[in-house]
Amino acid sequence: MVLLRLVNYVVEDLLERIVEEGLKLGAEFVEARYQDLYSTSITVSNERIESIVIRKEEGIGVRVLANGAFAFFSSATLEWDNIKNMLEESIRSAKVIGEYKKDKVKLAEVESVKVEAFKKPSKSPIDVELEYKRDLCMKTCKMMRKLDKRIVNATVALRDYLDFRITCTSDGVLVKTLVPRAVLSLSAVAFEAGKLGSYRRGEGASLGYEYIDRLDLENFTKMVVEKAVTMLSAKPAPLGRFTVITDPDLTGVFIHEAFGHACEGDTVLAGGSILKDKLGEKVGSELVTVYDDPTLKDSWGFFEYDDEGVKAKKKILVDKGVLVSFITNREAAAKLGLEPNGGARAQDYMHPPIVRMSNTYIAPGDWSFEEMVSEVKYGVLLCGSRGGQVDTAKGTFQFNAQEAYLIEKGEITKPLRDVSLSGFTLEVLSKVDAVSKDFSIRPGTCGKGGQGVPAGTGGPYLRIHDIVVGGRKR
């Protein structure tokens, strides 16, 4: 950490110099950000190393506001003359853009703050030998293959990150953050009698290898393999409108993709959200409360300050079925008449901050999973997601479940294949009639505007009545 503090002082001086020079050149606002990122990515398939990628990147990203318009540049070199030239060009560009911009950018006010928010891992990714990481992947892959002879492909992916950032602005913000992340993802494909079954799952946290080391690899590998093998006997799903139970993984994907993106302030302002002009209105069942919470302890989408230097906070988006807020950055907050709530995130120093989610989820309820199932006469349990399509402006969605099971007379009976869930987002939320006490959040990557950021998705089991399930006609 001594080296980190030395880097701190040198880079801090550079960022402050950029801000000062930008104001002298006529900028109304200057935001200078620095990032130092270390990451490792290892993929092993059938006990063969597919790839090992080690990244060590640093650079700065600078955003200037002039004549009511933003301009942005990034640089992997910290040489002053080069940065000054790009700074001058960016301010000139912003002024020209502003001449043609009717809707001038305004920023909501924020508190001046100088703070260090370091989430120090007890076993940092940078201190763990590459051989240890490689051997862990090989060992895990071997465990999966030995569990069942029907497994024809076993893949293990290990990713770790140590992400150090500084944000310095002309509003008196100087925020330094350090966040570690580590995730282990397993995928298994089973084959028998001409049929395939597959399953994948990732476990990750904003921790170092202290998290990876305490994973129960025996149970983790066994669960993934067993689910892949179970899908070999899956039957075609019924087609029609049924009572559906979604597991925490699919609940999370639904609330993130179909609803969470519609809650992003920039999407609302651009007319791309079904939620526009619906603040204060009922958008779901009274059983539905939705949060976006970057402060969730050790979660994958954790951060203490966003990339505009605004303190992160737990945001309630829906309170007992009523839409009460949006996720904002400073620009969106000003236009919507809301407070900035720490929703500005950038993938890295090469991208400007935009409105993003963190950990978005439906709050747990009072039901046990068994109680929810027992009341279903004929329906489907849907688990996980293999992707799908969402239109946040129209409020429609379609997701393909990773696994599914038929529910008959209050009991889970047989596995199903090729099952999809589709409908209108607000209609689905209005038809939730049970929410479980069981709750979990998993790691994911959220893509938007050409940027990918860590985001946690999950929640409880939901029971939803009269929903369209895709399969075959019953």
Report the pLDDT value the prediction gives residue 51, as an integer from 0 to 100: 98
Eight-state DSSP code of residue 262: G
Positions in the chain whose pLDDT score sits under 50: 1-3, 474
Distance CA 118, CA 164 (A): 9
- Can you tell me the distance from the alpha carbon of 318 to that of 259, in angstroms, rounded to the nearest whole number? 10
The single-letter DSSP state of residue 119 is -
Give the per-residue pLDDT at 472: 55
Question: CA gyration radius for the chain?
Answer: 24
Chain position carrying tokens 């939803």? 464
- Which DSSP symbol is given to 365? -
Q: Quick one: how far is CA 264 from the chain centroid?
A: 13
Contact 332, 305 (CB under 8 A): no
- Phi, psi (deg, nearest 5) at residue 52: -135, 120
Which three-class secondary structure string do you get for 94-105? HHHHHHCCCCCC
Q: Which residues pair with 305 in a beta bridge?
A: 311
Domain(s) labelled CATH 3.30.2290.10 in the chain stretch across 2-233
Q: What is the pLDDT of residues 246-279, one digit of tens each?
A: 999 999 999 999 999 999 999 999 999 999 999 9
Paired tokens of 402? 């990773």
The predicted structure's pLDDT at residue 466: 95
CB 323 within 8 A of CB 281: yes
Q: How far apart are CA 282 and CA 284, in angstroms?
A: 6
Instruction: Look at residues 436, 431, 435, 434 and name the one whose alpha carbon lies nearest to residue 465.
Output: 431
Measure Cα distances from 451 to 65, 96, 159 in Å: 21, 26, 18
In angstroms, the CA 316 to CA 327 distance is: 9
For 68-83, the pLDDT digits (tens) are 999 999 999 999 999 9
Distance of alpha carbon 348 from alpha carbon 452, whole angstroms:
9
Looking at residue 470, what is its pLDDT?
83
Q: What is the helix, strand, coil percentage profile of the chain, to 5?
A: 25, 45, 30
Helix (H, G, I), strand (E, B) or coil at 40: strand
Cα–Cα distances in angstroms (integers) from residue 151 to residues 48, 383, 417, in the given order: 15, 21, 18
With contact defined as beta carbons under 8 Å apart, do 443 and 215 qualify? no
CA distance 380 to 397: 18
- The angle at the Cα of 338, spanning 336 to 274, to the nearest 5 degrees, equals 50
Q: What is the pTM of this model?
A: 0.95
Q: Which residues contact 116 (CB under 8 A, 6 or more apart)?
A: 176, 177
Alpha-carbon gap, residue 79 to 192, rounded angstroms: 60
The neighbour count for residue 394, using CB atoms within 10 Å, is 11
Domain 2-233 carries which CATH code? Answer: 3.30.2290.10
- Beta-carbon neighbour count of residue 313 at 10 Å? 17
Tokens of residue 186, six digits: 């397993």
The β-bridge partners of 40 are 54, 160
Contact 402, 383 (CB under 8 A): yes
